[in-house]
Amino acid sequence: MNEPQLNIEKGEVRKGLVKCAELEDGNPVTIPYFVMRGVKKKPVLLLNAALHGDETYGIGGKKRLFEKIDPMKLNGTILAAPIVNTLAFKARDRMDPVDKKDLNRLFPGKKDGTVTERIAYHFFNKFVKKATFGIDLHTGMKGHLLVPHPRVRVFDNSSPPLEYPQALGTEIIFYHEGKKGMLNIQAEKIGIPIVCFEIGEAGRLDEYYINEGFKGVTNFMKYFGMIDGTPEMPEKQILLKDYMEIPAKMGGFFHPKVNAGDVIKKNQVVGIISSPFYNERYYVKALEDGVIIGIRTQPIVRPGTTVAWFMTFDQGKILPSLKRRKVVEKSSRTFSMVQKKGVEFKQ
């Protein structure tokens, strides 16, 4: 059967491939997966990464999870697809270079469509539909380092529940308008909550961000009772809406002066752009108080290149604490920076 088998023995781990299409050279396009069955069958947690082929943190995090979790201590089943878009992954690119279609705009896919549309179809019908809930791991694009945060997407006035993104235990939760065909939007329509979890930057595998991803996923599993332990939550979780991009005013080399996750004041220097030929410098400053959610890590910029992604607290909201389980509260770095810097937080 060309789909993941979840009816396996207690404690069993199985791997396999789901065939989606055939290429011009006769080679199959597949989605590789692992299933880990715990002492109970349900819930089924879908963990997937690399819908965009160059987004690698989720791949590293899943490997660690399978090494660390004892299936005889797992309540439920993990269905993991570490590399959904294998063609884009092999090309080290966001999208398959022949198809040039963004897989995360194509769900629920087309059975007889292009290769990427077929991958969407098989993934949606054979993985997503088997899940109780899921975590879809992403990263910033190449050169865009993002602070770990889930993205809650609204579409057609939907109101996705916040319990699932909150269960990851990040300080910032990003709420914005989604686009048709995105995995979490289409899955929500059929009643399966999937959290889009953004971490770090494409094409990299730094230990810190792998750990942040691992922490988020294990928090989620602890919160929903899949593994023992108390999830670690920040004292305050902040919901923020819409981001702004700060563009470079001149070309040259960008030297960041803040990190992703830093709370900054209006006029604070975000970074310096220096010209390669003259002794010219340009100071990139924040136009308002807010938080840097992403920063450019590749130094070469042109006028108009985005050097930072920024959110204000104008439409911010401190979320009520999660109720389902006891949690360990950790101090909130973001909120203490808000207070230390005297940034106004309008609720």
Footprint of Zn ion on this chain (CB under 5 A)?
Answer: 52, 55, 138
Least distance from Zn ion to the Cβ atom of residue 161, Å: 22
Contacts of 109 (CB under 8 A, 6+ apart): 117, 118, 119, 120, 121, 122, 123, 124, 125
Locate tokens 């602070």: which residue?
Answer: 147
- Judged by CB, which is closer to Zn ion: 55, or 262? 55
- Only one residue has tokens 């997503």, namely 128
Across the chain, how many H-helices and E-strands are there?
A: 7, 20
Residue pair 45/135 in contact by the 8 Å Cβ criterion: yes
Residue at shortest CB range from Zn ion: 138
Angle at 165 between CA 51 and CA 184, to 5 degrees: 40
d(CA 226, CA 302): 48
Q: What is d(CA 187, CA 183) in angstroms, rounded to the nearest whole number?
A: 6
Residue 83 vs 284, nearer CB to Zn ion: 83
Cβ nearer to Zn ion, comparing 54 with 262: 54
CB of 57 to Zn ion, least distance (A): 10
Least distance to Zn ion, CB of residue 341, Å: 31
Rounded to the nearest 10 degrees, the angle between the axes of helix 207-223 and helix 57-68 is 60
Minimum distance of Zn ion from residue 299's CB (angstroms): 23
Nearest approach, Cβ of 294 to Zn ion (angstroms)?
A: 13
Nearer residue to Zn ion within complex by CB, 52 or 222 = 52
Residue 197: strand pairing partners:
137, 150
Nearer to Zn ion, 52 or 153 (CB): 52
Read off the amino acid at residue 224: F
For Zn ion, the closer of residues 92 and 265 by Cβ is: 92
Q: In sequence order, what DSSP letters do the residues of 81-98 get, joined into one string?
A: ES-S-HHHHHTTSSS-TT
> Which of residues 195 and 264 has its CB atom nearest to Zn ion in the complex?
195
**Three-class secondary structure of residue 187 per DSSP:** helix
Q: How far is the CB of 55 from Zn ion (least distance, A)?
A: 5
> Which of 259, 169, 161 lies closest to 214, judged by CA?
169
Q: Compute the least distance from the CB of residue 157 to Zn ion, in Å.
A: 25
